[in-house]
Amino acid sequence: MDVSASLEAAALVFSRGERRVLDGASLALAPGEIVSLLGANGSGKTTLLRLMLGFLKPDGGAVALDNRTLRAWSRRDIARQVAYVAQNHVAPFPYRVRDVVLLGRLPQAGWLAPVAARDFEAADALLEDLGILPLADRPYTEISGGERQLTLIARALAQGANLLVMDEPMAGLDYGAQIRLMRLLQGLKRQGIGVLLSTHHPEHAFWASDRIALLEQGRVTVDGAPCDVLDAEAVERLYRVQVKTLTAADGRRAFLPE
């Protein structure tokens, strides 16, 4: 797998009506790293991710994929390089869970290419890694919200992309599923894949991230190593809640409300 691709947003500006959502936001993702994006509800996290994927057009600034402007890439070629897990998804048809995952192979194989045995094997392996292989033949529309989220993550991984962008992937997952997902992301990192995810869980960011970026007032105000970025003061500033810090022997931090 070619893992040379990188994704970079520079000074992005975006407005909805009279409201300036982003005002010079910059963020980059390189191969073999996990970057967590934290910010309060309404801070523009989803907007920033969608701009970086080319789903929205910025009012200012630029996005580059593999050092080429995103405008120079076709949608299919972007999908070959970058996989996306959205925050919400509604299936128009009652596909089986396995079929939803197999849809992730389309950017690589093409719309008319037959599904090969290795594609089925790869899909089932991903479902097993995420703990939902028993759901493979269930209709996607009849499983829980958390199980749907895991299915969408498996579909994104099936793309075989170099970079993975995830919008609040922990939403709706139980504790065990969250742990399995974080371990899976760490495995992807070891394969040289870059992962960018938004989250409201500082503990998740501390556990697996190489970098944490804080989105405030339309800009990424801090971007660096977890221990340098995220402390009680930052959590209080982001979420307007008083917290105290617990530090584990390995340096990871947890935050408890006072």
Average pLDDT of span 51-78:
95
Residue 78 corresponds to which amino acid?
I
Comparison of pLDDT for 163 and 2, the residue scoring more: 163
pLDDT tens, residue by residue, 115-156: 788 889 989 999 998 889 999 999 998 998 888 888 988 999
**Residue 133 CA neighbour count, 13 Å, CB half:** 10
Average pLDDT of span 77-91:
84
What pLDDT is attached to residue 111?
A: 59
User: What band does 32 get if pLDDT is binned at 50, 70 and 90?
Assistant: very high
What pLDDT is attached to residue 23?
A: 97
**34 falls within a domain:** yes
What pLDDT is attached to residue 164?
A: 94
Q: What is the mean pLDDT of the chain?
A: 90
Comparison of pLDDT for 4 and 187, the residue scoring more: 187
Residue 90 has pLDDT above 80, yes or no: no
**36 falls within a domain:** yes
CB 85 within 8 A of CB 153: yes
Name the residue among 160, 189, 206 with its Cα closest to residue 32. Answer: 189
Question: Which pair of tokens denotes residue 12?
Answer: 């992005």
pLDDT tens, residue by residue, 212-229: 999 999 999 999 999 999
Name the residue among 39, 40, 42, 44 with its Cα closest to residue 24. Answer: 44
Name the residue among 192, 184, 117 with its Cα closest to residue 157. Answer: 184
User: What band does 2 get if pLDDT is binned at 50, 70 and 90?
Assistant: very low
What pLDDT is attached to residue 9?
A: 98
**217 falls within a domain:** yes
**2 falls within a domain:** no
**172 falls within a domain:** yes
Q: Which residue has the tokens 């040289």?
A: 192
H-only helix segments in 114-231: 117-129, 145-158, 175-190, 202-208, 226-229
Say which CATH number the domain at 207 has: 3.40.50.300
User: What band does 204 get if pLDDT is binned at 50, 70 and 90?
Assistant: confident
Question: Which pair of tokens denotes residue 238?
Answer: 């982001």
**109 falls within a domain:** yes
Structural domain range at position 248: 7-257
What pLDDT is attached to residue 109?
A: 64
Percent of the chain with pLDDT over 70: 94
Specify the number of domains making up the chain: 1
What pLDDT is attached to residue 64?
A: 97
**41 falls within a domain:** yes
Comparison of pLDDT for 200 and 59, the residue scoring more: 59
Residue 112 has pLDDT above 80, yes or no: no
Question: Which pair of tokens denotes residue 34?
Answer: 């996990």
The kind and range of the H/E element at 107 are helix 106-109
**1 falls within a domain:** no
Q: Which residue has the tokens 């003061």?
A: 233
What pLDDT is attached to residue 3?
A: 46
